[in-house]
Chain A
C-alpha cells in the first residue's frame, strides 16, 4: 500500500467514526429521550410536562441542526487535513 492509499483509508475511517458518533447522538435524542426512554425522564419537569415531551417536540429538532453543522465543520476540517478538499 502506498502512502496515498493509507492516507485515503485513514480519511474514510475518520469520516465513518464521525458519522457513527453523530448517529448515536441522533438516535439517543429522538428514539431514546423522546420515545423509548421517556418514562425514565418523567421526573424532570419542563413547563407543565416532562423532558421527554420537550425532546419530542423541540429538543430533537434543535439537536439535529447542531449535529449537521458540527459534522460539516469537522468534515471540512478533515478534508483539509487529509488534503482531499476542493480548490
Chain B
C-alpha cells in the first residue's frame, strides 16, 4: 500500500468517526448546545479540554520551537500549562457555580452593565477569530502535505466535517469528538517519541530519556547535544537566558492568557458540580502533560538526530554528501520545508550557525555560508521518517495534526457562536426569543462563523504569525482580570471593571502595534521590533502580563473612588463563592 493510501485511510477513518459521533450526539436544546447539558464526567471533560486546548501549534510547531530555542523556549512549556493552576483555583469552580452559558454573561451580570458585557463580547470575538485563523491554516497545511490535495480543497473538506458535528451537536457533539480527537492526537505524538527515545537512549519513556545517557557516545544526551551544537557555532542547548525579566513576563503572559481564553473556560461549564470543575482542571492538565512532557524530549532528540544525519562522523568531521542524503530529506525538500543551496560547491551539506562569531571557524573549514534551512515544523512532521518508523506512523501524524487543529477550531467556533446568539441576540437584540428560536440562531451563527473562518484560512491575512501575541495578550489583559476581580472583590463596580478592561486591552494592543505594525499593516511599525527598542526589554509577546497589571490597578482605583456595587451584586459574589446550590446551568 502506498503512503498516500495509508494517509487517506487514517484521515478518512478518523473523519468517519467524528461524523458518527455528530449524528449520535445531536443537541435538542440550547442547554445541550451551549454546555452539553452540564452532564459531562470530569475526566471526560478533562480529555476534551486537553484537545480543545492543544492546537495545531502545540502539536506541529511547539517541539520545533523548543528544538531551535533550547532552554529559552521552556517558557512555552511552563506558560501553556501553568495557566491551569490559575483556572482551577481562581476561575473555573466559581464560574461553574454561577451556572450560566457564556463568559460575557458573567461579566455582564456581575458588573450589572450591558456595556461590560459588550466589551467582553468584543474581546472574546477578537481573541477567538484571530486564534481560529491559525487552526484553519494549520488544517490546510496538514492536508496539503499528507494528502496531496491543495490546501484550499483540504480546508473546505475540514470545514464540512466541523460544520457537521459543531452545527448539529453544539457543545455536546464537540465534547465527544474532542475526546476522540484527543486519543488520535496523543497516540500520534507518543509513538514516534517512544521510538526516538529508545533509539537514542534505550529508555522507552521520553521524559526520562531526555535526561539519560546517549547510547552511542555514553555521555548524557543533553551534554552530547550541547557539544555538537557548540561545534557548529550554535548557542548551547541548555544555556541560560540573559533577559530574565522578559522570560518571566512571557511565561506569566502565557499563563494568564491561557486562563483567560473563553473557549477553555466554557469547557468547565459542562461538568455537573463545582467539585467536578476542580477535579476536571487537574485531569485536563494530566492529559495535556502527556504531550507537554514528551515535547521537550522530542525537541532535543530530533535535533541531535538531524545533526548526526548531516554530520555522520561527528560535527568536527566532513558533512554528508548531498547525493547521499536520506529519503526523508528528499521528501521534505519537495514541500519546501527543507531547502538546500550548495554555496561552496563541494557537493556536501553544511548546516551551521552563520553568525559573525563563527565566521573564522567556518572559513577555516572551507564553508561559505549555511547551506540548509529547516522549518521548525519538520521536527514533528518528519520525526517518524527520521526514526525510520513504518508508513502507518506517518499516516497517524497526518490524522493527529488534523485532530489537533479541528478540535481547537470547534471549541473556538462554539465560543464565538454562543457569544453571538446568547450575548448579542438573546441578551441584547431580542431578549424574548424562544429556546427553539435561540437554538436556531446559535446554529446559524455557528455556520456563519465556520464560513468566515474558512475564508480567512484560505486567504490568511498577512499577520497570521503575530496573532498568537494578540490573542494571548488580550485574554491576559482584558478577560482574566475582569473575571478574577468579579469573584474575589465585592468592591469592584461596573465603571471600574469597564475602565480596567479597556485600559488593559488598549495598552496591550497599542504596545503590540508599536512594534509589529499598526493593525499589522506591514511597514507601519513605529519602532523596529528588536530587543534594544523594547521598553525595559519587554517583548510585544510578553506585554499581556503588564496589561493585566494595568487592568487590575485601574479597576481597583476607579472603583475605590466611585460607589460600591448594589447589595444584590454583593450577594451574587457571595453565592459564587459557595458551592451549594449550583444546580444546573441555566440561561436565565
Q: Are A61 and B220 in contact (CB under 8 A)?
A: no
- Taking CB atoms, residues of chain B closer than 8 Å to A35 are 241, 244, 247-248, 251
B282 sits at the interface (CB 8 A): yes
Q: Are B238 and A49 in contact (CB under 8 A)?
A: yes
- Taking CB atoms, residues of chain B closer than 8 Å to A12 are 577
Q: Are A72 and B275 in contact (CB under 8 A)?
A: yes
Contact among B252, B296, B578 for A8, CB-based, below 8 A: B578
Closest A residue by C-beta to B278: A72
10 closest Cβ pairs, A-B complex: A48-B220, A47-B211, A48-B222, A56-B74, A72-B278, A48-B223, A68-B282, A57-B296, A49-B238, A84-B578
Cα(A54)–Cα(B77), bound, Å:
12
Q: Are B240 and A61 in contact (CB under 8 A)?
A: no
Q: Are A86 and B278 in contact (CB under 8 A)?
A: no
Chain B: minimal CB distance from A66 (Å): 9
- Interface size class for chain A? 35 or more
Cα(A11)–Cα(B286), bound, Å:
28
Closest B residue by C-beta to A72: B278
Closest A residue by C-beta to B220: A48
Chain B: minimal CB distance from A59 (Å): 10
Main secondary structure of the interface of B (DSSP, over half): helix
Cα(A56)–Cα(B76), bound, Å:
10
Would you give the 0/1 interface string for A43-87, flagging 1 where the beta carbon is closer than 8 Å to chain B?
A: 000111110111011101110110111011001100100001111
**Known interface pairs A34-B78, A64-B81; A23-B222 also in contact (CB < 8 Å):** no
Chain B: minimal CB distance from A40 (Å): 12
Q: In the complex, which residues 13-53 of chain A have their Cβ closer than 8 Å to any Cβ of chain B?
A: 15, 19, 22-23, 26, 30-31, 34-36, 38-39, 46-50, 52-53
Cα(A38)–Cα(B238), bound, Å:
11
Contact among B210, B222, B251, B579 for A86, CB-based, below 8 A: B579
Closest B residue by C-beta to A8: B578
Q: Are A58 and B296 in contact (CB under 8 A)?
A: yes
Would you give the 0/1 interface string for B32-50, flagging 1 where the beta carbon is closer than 8 Å to chain A?
A: 0000000000000000000
Q: Are B88 and A61 in contact (CB under 8 A)?
A: no
Contact among B82, B220, B296, B580 for A47, CB-based, below 8 A: B220
Residues of B within 8 A of A (CB): 66, 71, 74, 77-78, 81-82, 84-85, 88-90, 93, 207, 210-212, 219-224, 226, 238, 240-241, 244, 247-248, 251-252, 273-275, 278-279, 281-282, 285-286, 289, 292-293, 296, 574, 577-582
- Taking CB atoms, residues of chain B closer than 8 Å to A26 are 82, 85
Q: Are B221 and A48 in contact (CB under 8 A)?
A: yes
Q: Are B89 and A23 in contact (CB under 8 A)?
A: yes
Can you list 22 A-B pairs with a CB-CB distance of less than 8 A? A8-B574, A19-B89, A23-B85, A35-B241, A39-B240, A47-B210, A48-B223, A48-B226, A52-B240, A53-B238, A60-B77, A60-B82, A61-B78, A61-B289, A61-B292, A64-B84, A64-B285, A67-B85, A72-B88, A72-B282, A76-B275, A85-B275
Cα(A86)–Cα(B279), bound, Å:
15
Chain B CB within 10 Å — which of A50, A68, A76 has the most?
A: A68
**Known interface pairs A58-B296, A61-B292; A71-B84 also in contact (CB < 8 Å):** no
Q: Are B248 and A36 in contact (CB under 8 A)?
A: yes
Chain A CB within 10 Å — which of B90, B241, B578 has the most?
A: B578
Cα(A42)–Cα(B402), bound, Å:
40
Q: Are A85 and B580 in contact (CB under 8 A)?
A: yes
Contact among A11, A19, A54 for B211, CB-based, below 8 A: A54
Q: Are A79 and B579 in contact (CB under 8 A)?
A: yes
Cα(A35)–Cα(B73), bound, Å:
11
Cα(A44)–Cα(B409), bound, Å:
43
Q: Are B82 and A64 in contact (CB under 8 A)?
A: yes
Main secondary structure of the interface of A (DSSP, over half): helix
Q: Are A68 and B74 in contact (CB under 8 A)?
A: no
Cα(A64)–Cα(B286), bound, Å:
9
Q: Are B78 and A56 in contact (CB under 8 A)?
A: yes
Closest A residue by C-beta to B488: A16
- Taking CB atoms, residues of chain A closer than 8 Å to B88 are 68, 71-72
Closest A residue by C-beta to B282: A68
- Taking CB atoms, residues of chain B closer than 8 Å to A56 are 71, 74, 77-78
Closest A residue by C-beta to B279: A72
Q: Are B240 and A38 in contact (CB under 8 A)?
A: yes
Chain A: minimal CB distance from B283 (Å): 9
Q: Are B289 and A65 in contact (CB under 8 A)?
A: yes
Closest B residue by C-beta to A36: B244
Chain B: minimal CB distance from A1 (Å): 14
Cα(A52)–Cα(B281), bound, Å:
26
Chain B: minimal CB distance from A14 (Å): 12
Chain A: minimal CB distance from B99 (Å): 11
- Taking CB atoms, residues of chain A closer than 8 Å to B220 are 47-49
Q: Are B580 and A84 in contact (CB under 8 A)?
A: yes
Q: Are A46 and B90 in contact (CB under 8 A)?
A: no
Q: Are B278 and A61 in contact (CB under 8 A)?
A: no
A58-B293, A60-B78 known; 9 new pairs, CB 8 Å cut-off, are A12-B577, A30-B251, A57-B77, A61-B285, A61-B292, A65-B285, A68-B85, A76-B275, A86-B579
- Taking CB atoms, residues of chain B closer than 8 Å to A71 are 88-89, 278
- Taking CB atoms, residues of chain B closer than 8 Å to A36 are 244, 248
Cα(A64)–Cα(B79), bound, Å:
11
- Taking CB atoms, residues of chain A closer than 8 Å to B221 are 47-48
Cα(A35)–Cα(B246), bound, Å:
11
- Taking CB atoms, residues of chain A closer than 8 Å to B581 are 86
Q: Are B211 and A46 in contact (CB under 8 A)?
A: yes
- Taking CB atoms, residues of chain A closer than 8 Å to B292 are 61
Cα(A23)–Cα(B581), bound, Å:
28
Closest A residue by C-beta to B90: A19
Closest B residue by C-beta to A48: B220
Closest B residue by C-beta to A20: B89
Chain A: minimal CB distance from B78 (Å): 5
Chain B: minimal CB distance from A12 (Å): 6
Cα(A67)–Cα(B83), bound, Å:
12
